[in-house]
Amino acid sequence: MNFSWLAVFIFSMIFAAVAAVHCPAPFKSEGHDCTAKRTIRGECPQGSQYKASINKCVYKH
């Protein structure tokens, strides 16, 4: 039997798992957090919260 479909399926599952750990735009991966610089007006991008200890906006997973 030809099991190439199984190899493609396993590869796509691995790719999906790796792609899921990336941060959404405009956040960048920094350690275990997705962070973004705080804007001039002091507001964080939607879906994030300001963290004073690092002076950046942290994406809430």
Q: Could you tell me which residues are beta bridge partners of residue 34? A: 29
* Whole-number pLDDT of residue 35: 94
Entry field: residues in the chain: 61
pLDDT digits (tens, 9 = 90+) for 2-61: 878 887 888 777 765 555 568 888 899 888 889 999 877 778 988 999 998 999 999 987
pTM confidence score:
0.58
User: How far is CA 25 from each of CA 16, 19, 46, rounded to the nearest angstrom?
Assistant: 18, 13, 11
Q: What is the pLDDT of residue 48?
A: 92
Domain borders along the chain are 23-61
